[in-house]
Amino acid sequence: MTRILGIETSCDETAAAVIQRDDSGRGHILSNIVLSQLEDHAPYGGVVPEIAARAHVNHLDRLVAQAMAEAGLSFAELDGVAATAGPGLLGGVIVGLTMAKAIAMAHGLPLMAVNHLEGHALTARLLEDVDFPYLLLLISGGHTQFQIVEGVGRYHRLGTTIDDALGEAFDKVAKLLGLGYPGGPQVEVQARRGDPRRFDFPRPLKGRKDCNFSFSGLKTAVREVVNGLGALSDQDVADVAASFEAAVAETMADRLTMAVHLFRAAHPGVERPALIVAGGVAANQKLKAVFAQAAGRFGLALIVPPPKLCTDNAAMIAWAGAERLALGLTDDVSVAARARWPLDQSQAPVYGSGKLGAKA
């Protein structure tokens, strides 16, 4: 048995968890504590990095203690400690990684500095017996990308956003419509009572022979419609939300078709590959229907983790740490926090460079 404490502070959730990995590779969540900062950031319509970092400092000690108590373990009974080391808001990442370093040094434990995206990528293996390789669609607040997950630490990017992430697009549209933060759930609620055919929004990159995404132009199209409407009625809000969601769903279906073809070309011997959809946007019901339809059409085993494991949490970080520890992949306490950290390190960046490195 391997028991790992995980810490997650990459954005606006402060989280601590303890997981257990048995000798067969199966995982069990012993505790999973997440403190949301939504109320702190809602007045600003988005996450304020300084507020987030201060909240992590104020609450992380207590949450770690609570996670350990719920797991019924002492630090001496742990086999390692894992923390998000990036990508994310650097101030917040530093808080969690520093805490993990301190615990590792104080108790003589191995340290695993985990890529936050790898946490999402491996979550399905915590829940089910999923073999490598599999196709990952990661759709979160800051990331929209397809990856072939070939093993722990082995990723091949098929496509990514060339501008804005899908989660950011949902938040921006919600703000344009005067809805609350976070925007994704608010837009989805409004879309249920709207007419998806009223506004003909673009389907970005549809038909392109690659797996990249673009949502900047779609956001601009929504803004122009909203500005043209003037004072928005309740029905206007619902129709814009529904039309936007319909455009996103059609775009995702097209991009997913291309990703499946590329996956099968790379791994023709995999008869029924798994399609893993992770990240907070995966909770959208219209998009779930798109994924389910694609899975049936292409013979994929669709796995969408439950919402509490799709949004940021520490159980996924602890699990990624356990997977890495099983392979002897540990880190020195000198490891640095990183604001940017693409999963696939072998390919040229699509965008983002300079001192901070590639964003995707």
Asked if residue 141 has pLDDT above 80, the reply is no
Are the C-beta atoms of 87 and 338 separated by less than 8 Å? yes
Asked if residue 145 has pLDDT above 60, the reply is yes
pLDDT tens sequence across 10-32: 988 999 999 999 988 899 999 99
Mean pLDDT across 292-314: 94
pLDDT tens sequence across 223-250: 999 999 999 999 999 999 999 999 999 9
Asked if residue 360 has pLDDT above 80, the reply is no
Are the C-beta atoms of 316 and 18 separated by less than 8 Å? no
> Are 145 and 236 part of one and the same domain?
yes
> Are 296 and 346 part of one and the same domain?
no
Mean pLDDT across 297-305: 96
Asked if residue 43 has pLDDT above 80, the reply is no
What pTM does this model have? 0.92
Instruction: Provide CB contacts within 8 A for 19, sequence distance 6+.
Output: 3, 4, 6, 27, 28, 29, 30, 126, 315, 318, 319, 322
> Are 50 and 199 part of one and the same domain?
no
Instruction: Provide CB contacts within 8 A for 228, sequence distance 6+.
Output: none
> Are 14 and 141 part of one and the same domain?
no
> Are 166 and 263 part of one and the same domain?
yes
> Are 159 and 276 part of one and the same domain?
yes
Confidence at residue 204, expressed as pLDDT on a 0 to 100 scale = 95
Strands 27-36 and 13-21: antiparallel
Lowest-confidence pick of 31-40, 79-88, 241-250: 31-40
Structural domain containing residue 38:
2-125+309-356
pLDDT tens sequence across 185-220: 999 999 999 999 999 999 999 999 999 999 999 999
Q: Give the whole-angstrom CA distance, residue 324 versus residue 150.
A: 14
> Are 166 and 254 part of one and the same domain?
yes
Mean pLDDT across 312-330: 97
Confidence at residue 357, expressed as pLDDT on a 0 to 100 scale = 54
> Are 157 and 262 part of one and the same domain?
yes
Confidence at residue 292, expressed as pLDDT on a 0 to 100 scale = 96
> Are 189 and 324 part of one and the same domain?
no
Q: If we measure between CA atoms, which residue out of 105, 98, 82 comes closest to residue 18?
A: 82
Confidence at residue 359, expressed as pLDDT on a 0 to 100 scale = 56
Confidence at residue 313, expressed as pLDDT on a 0 to 100 scale = 96
Mean pLDDT across 104-128: 96
Are the C-beta atoms of 290 and 256 separated by less than 8 Å? yes
Confidence at residue 131, expressed as pLDDT on a 0 to 100 scale = 95
Confidence at residue 7, expressed as pLDDT on a 0 to 100 scale = 98
Asked if residue 266 has pLDDT above 60, the reply is yes
> Are 215 and 262 part of one and the same domain?
yes
342 prior amide bond cis, ω within 30: no
Phi, psi of 155 (to 5 degrees): -135, 145
207: left (phi over 0), alpha (psi -120 to 50) or beta: left
Number of domains in the chain: 2
Q: What element of type H or E holds 60? A: helix 49-71
CATH code, domain with 277? 3.30.420.40
pLDDT tens sequence across 326-358: 999 999 999 999 999 999 987 766 755 555 555
Mean of the per-residue pLDDT values of the chain? 93
> Are 234 and 244 part of one and the same domain?
yes
Q: Give the whole-angstrom CA distance, residue 90 versus residue 9.
A: 9
Q: Give the whole-angstrom CA distance, residue 126 versus residue 282.
A: 17
Q: Is residue 183 very low, low, confident or very high in pLDDT (cuts 50, 70, 90)?
A: confident
Of 291, 307, 323, the residue at which a domain comes to its end is 307
> Are 234 and 315 part of one and the same domain?
no
Asked if residue 181 has pLDDT above 90, the reply is no
